[in-house]
Every structure is written in C-alpha cells, then in structure tokens.
C-alpha cells in the first residue's frame, strides 16, 4: 500500500510549512511542551498512521554574562570572537536510541544526536565535510558517539522514501554506506514522479552498495522503518529546530545548522568540562536576567524616523541572515509606510553579526562606511536587496566596493574605511548591547523595550504598535 495516500501526508505538508524558519537563532529556544503536545494531537486528529513526515548553567572557566545590579549583565570582552554556548535540553528529554545508525562506542564521553534530511543541501555538506572530521577527531578516539536521527522535512515524499532506505540498510549494518549513496545521488531518487519510482531508485542504490536485495526490498516495500522515522521526527520537533542539520550534544541543543568549526568548538568545550569541571573561554554562557539592559545607546546614522516619535523599534540584525532578509522584504516596507514615514515610530538598526555567518561582519562594516558619507540606509537596502550577490562571492568586500560605486560614494574614502575596519568597535559595541539585552539570534527587536524575536509578520508588529499608541493617548 502506498503511504502517499495515507492521511498523514496531508499533515506532512502542514509540518513543512510550520518549519519555515523565523530567526537565525543561536542558541535554540527550549522545548515548548504545550506546543509539542498540540502537534501530536493534530497528528492523531488527522488519522496519522505509522507514517511520518513533514517539518545555563554556570561554569567557572567560561566567559559568563551574569546579572549585576545596575544593568542586569556584565560586559563580555570581544564577544565577536567567541561562540554563544547552546542551552541545555530538559532533564527529562530522552530521544529514542538508534543503535543500527550509530557511530562510536557506547561508553564514549559525549553523545551527539544529529537530525538530517537527505534532500537538504546543508545536510549533504555536513555529511561530506564535517562528519568525516568528527569521526577522525572524536569518534575514533572514543570521545564521541554519533546517533543519526531521521528528519525528512525538506523533500516531501522522496525524503521519506530516502529515510526508509537508509534505515532498511541500517538493518543490514550498512547505514553509512546507504546514507553516502543517498547524499551523492540525490537527483536519482528525488526527481521521480511517484512513490514506486522513488523506491525503485533507492533499491538501485541498495544494490550498488551490496545489500541483500530480497531483505531490503521487503523492508522498503512494507515500509517497516516508518514507526522509527516518526519517533525521530517527534524527538526533533520537541526542540523546535530552525535549520538542519540540528544537534543535541552533551545535553545541549543546537537548533540551527552550525559550521564545522563552531560545532567542534562546542564539543571541545563540553569535553573540557567533563575533564576539568569548567568550560574554556572560547565560549560565552548567557544567563538570562529578569531585568535585561535595554537602555541602548542613541544612534543617528543608523536611525530613521522622527526623534520625537512615541515608539522606538530597535532591530538587532545580521546582513547574511536569511530571516533578517525576510523581515526586510516582507515586513519592513509596510512598517516604514504606515509608522516610520508618518512620524509615529523611530527605527534603529544595530549590528549583530552571528559567528557562523563569516561575511556578516564585513557587510556591517560596509554599511557603517557608507553611513560615514550619509548613505547608510542606501547601503543597508543594497546589502539585503542583493544579499545573494555578495554571499556567494569569494571576495565579498569587492562586491561592497562595487556597491559604493553604484551608490556614487567617494570610492577612495569608502575603500580606506572598509579595508581598515574603521567601525569594528562600533559593531562590537552593538553586539555587546544585544548580549546585555539577552539577544541570542537574529532578527531580534525591542519595541519600546518589549522583546520580539524572529521575522514576524507585519500584523504582529502592527498589533503591538497600535496597542502602545493607544496607551499613549
């Protein structure tokens, strides 16, 4: 029987939409048990069968932000050079074991759970370039055990078939071989027109890696792994992933894909804590305060709107973040038209370049250098409006210099400013302000001090702003 026709696959499409990211967030939010329960109830109400699919602690050695009487947080030295340590999962969180798709020793110092989708490019990149280094550096040394969890949210039906293929291969002890084939031959199985054709394509891969085909065919035709895939999905959805691959390592959740360097920095920090009882100063632990410091420094160059407006919105943002781009494209134009241009809202932009966006800091510098010549917002709009152009470039600063020419800036002055990183202290100061206020991801907003996280729809801003305006009358 084709699972494509089961009621669960209506739910799958809903989940895919629900997983649309609202923020480049580091670290992830804690699990929302109420939301998880509601999600599971929706599954039951939709008649879901065994089919799946889709969507701080204190450590002496760490650089820590702790409450203090006057501002609520201590300053952190050079926060741009450190990684925000991810939050802990709930003590009761216990994902299902997957011994047949696990690498490493049972008694390894740390366990890392990874959630991936074989159709997702970032997962393919992780499998090809990061996972081998994790194996060599940690798994083979007995320091890390890696448990793979299925999370087929990106590719619809083909992703589910691929997950079934991987788990059917795992039953024969060849999970890694099948996973590699799936990542390397995505087009072969993802471009098929129906489920039977998808299964046949995956069977060809199984034959290529030398599986017992009678056993494999029976496994995938009978959809034997679907219950396990469903459990993997719910284990992950409890953590509200923002990006794949996502991880839980040493009891800490990384809900948005990280660079290999960042992941290994966190693993090294956890290993040091296991050995010495304290974290190294390569990470920052953020301890939320009930009174975070939102008394932000005044801005002129990076502000728009009337200084006399009764409402001020402060945005902490990252020019490389796709969800900051989403806010710029979908929400900001209406905010500007209805509230900023009418004098009711003053809008302030603060830089918060995330550590895993390597080109975000140079972009922030480019905006500040344009601001030196009175064209901050023109460069801001260009950086977001043509984000793909410079993000994909191997020499983004050359693109920024081209932008300066297009904006008719004094090019020599701009180039000197950019090359000297003249405004790095300004960007660092913005980052410190954000951390002091509890910002852990982008975009993040403070509307007259009220915190709002993520690329929220215009209506969310409108509701908050209209209520504040009404309260001032």
The class level of CATH for 303-472 reads alpha beta
Separation between Cα atoms, residue 112 and residue 98, nearest integer Å: 12
β-strands 311-317, 345-351: how paired?
parallel
Neighbours of 125 (CB within 10 A): 16
Separation between Cα atoms, residue 304 and residue 339, nearest integer Å: 11
Neighbours of 428 (CB within 10 A): 19
pLDDT digits (tens), the chain, 473 positions: 233 334 334 334 334 433 433 455 433 333 333 333 333 332 233 333 323 333 333 333 433 333 333 322 222 334 456 677 888 888 888 999 999 999 999 999 999 999 999 999 999 999 999 999 999 999 999 999 999 999 998 767 899 999 999 999 999 999 999 999 999 999 999 999 899 999 999 999 999 999 999 999 999 999 999 999 999 999 998 887 878 899 999 999 998 778 898 899 999 999 999 999 988 888 876 544 445 677 898 999 999 999 999 999 999 999 999 889 999 999 999 999 999 999 999 999 999 998 888 999 999 999 999 999 999 999 999 999 999 999 999 999 999 999 999 999 999 999 999 999 999 999 999 998 988 888 878 898 999 988 888 888 898 899 899 989 988 77
Same fold, 3-283 and 303-472: yes
The listed CATH number (2.60.40.2550, 3.40.309.10, 3.40.30.10, 3.40.50.300) that belongs to domain 3-283: 3.40.30.10
Separation between Cα atoms, residue 129 and residue 178, nearest integer Å: 17
In eight-state DSSP terms, residue 127 is I
Q: What are phi and psi of 26, to 5 degrees?
A: -145, 115
Helices 424-436 & 360-371, crossing angle to 10 degrees? 110
CB 26 within 8 A of CB 441: yes
Domain ranges of the chain: 3-283, 303-472
Among 264, 236, 229, 235, smallest CA distance to 250 is for 264
């Amino acid at each position: 029987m084709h699972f494509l026709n089961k009621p669960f696959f209506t739910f799958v499409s809903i989940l895919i939409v629900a997983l649309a990211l609202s923020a480049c967030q580091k670290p992830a939010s804690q699990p929302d048990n109420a939301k998880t329960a509601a999600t599971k109830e929706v599954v039951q109400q939709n008649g879901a069968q065994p089919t799946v699919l889709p969507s701080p602690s204190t450590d002496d050695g760490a650089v820590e932000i702790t409450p203090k009487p006057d501002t609520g947080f201590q300053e952190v030295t050079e926060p741009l050079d450190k990684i925000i340590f991810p939050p802990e999962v709930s003590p009761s969180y216990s994902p299902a074991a997957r011994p047949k798709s696990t690498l490493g020793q049972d008694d390894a110092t740390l366990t890392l759970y990874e959630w991936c989708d074989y159709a997702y490019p970032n997962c393919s990149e992780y499998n090809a370039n990061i996972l081998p280094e994790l194996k060599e550096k940690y798994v083979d040394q007995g320091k890390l055990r890696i448990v793979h969890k299925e999370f087929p949210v990106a590719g619809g039906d083909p992703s589910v078939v691929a997950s079934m293929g991987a788990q059917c291969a795992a039953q024969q002890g060849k999970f890694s071989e099948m996973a590699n084939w799936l990542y390397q031959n995505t087009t072969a199985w993802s471009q098929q027109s129906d489920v039977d054709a998808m299964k046949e394509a995956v069977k060809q891969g199984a034959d290529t890696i030398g599986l017992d085909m009678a056993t494999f065919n029976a496994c995938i035709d009978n959809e034997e792994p679907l219950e396990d895939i469903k459990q993997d999905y719910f284990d992950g959805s409890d953590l509200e992933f923002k990006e794949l691959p996502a991880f839980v390592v040493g009891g800490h959740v990384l809900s948005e894909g990280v660079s290999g360097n960042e992941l290994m920095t966190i693993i090294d920090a956890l290993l040091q804590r296991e050995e010495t009882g304290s974290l190294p100063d390569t990470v920052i632990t953020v301890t939320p305060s009930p009174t975070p410091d939102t008394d932000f420094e005044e801005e002129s160059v990076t502000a728009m709107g009337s200084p006399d407006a009764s409402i001020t919105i402060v945005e902490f943002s990252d020019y490389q973040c796709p969800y900051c781009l989403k806010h710029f494209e979908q929400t900001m134009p209406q905010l500007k038209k209805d509230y900023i241009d009418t004098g009711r809202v003053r809008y302030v932009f603060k830089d918060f370049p995330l550590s895993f966006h390597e080109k975000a800091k140079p972009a922030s510098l480019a905006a500040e250098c344009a601001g030196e010549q009175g064209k901050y917002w023109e460069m801001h709009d260009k950086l977001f409006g043509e984000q793909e152009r410079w993000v994909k470039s191997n020499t983004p600063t050359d693109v920024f210099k081209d932008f300066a020419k297009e904006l008719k800036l004094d090019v020599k002055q701009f180039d000197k400013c950019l090359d000297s990183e003249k405004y790095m202290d300004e960007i660092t100061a913005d980052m410190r302000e954000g951390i002091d206020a509890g910002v852990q991801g982008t975009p993040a907003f403070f509307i007259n001090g009220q915190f709002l996280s993520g690329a929220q729809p215009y209506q969310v801003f409108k509701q908050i702003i209209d209520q504040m305006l009404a309260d001032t009358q």
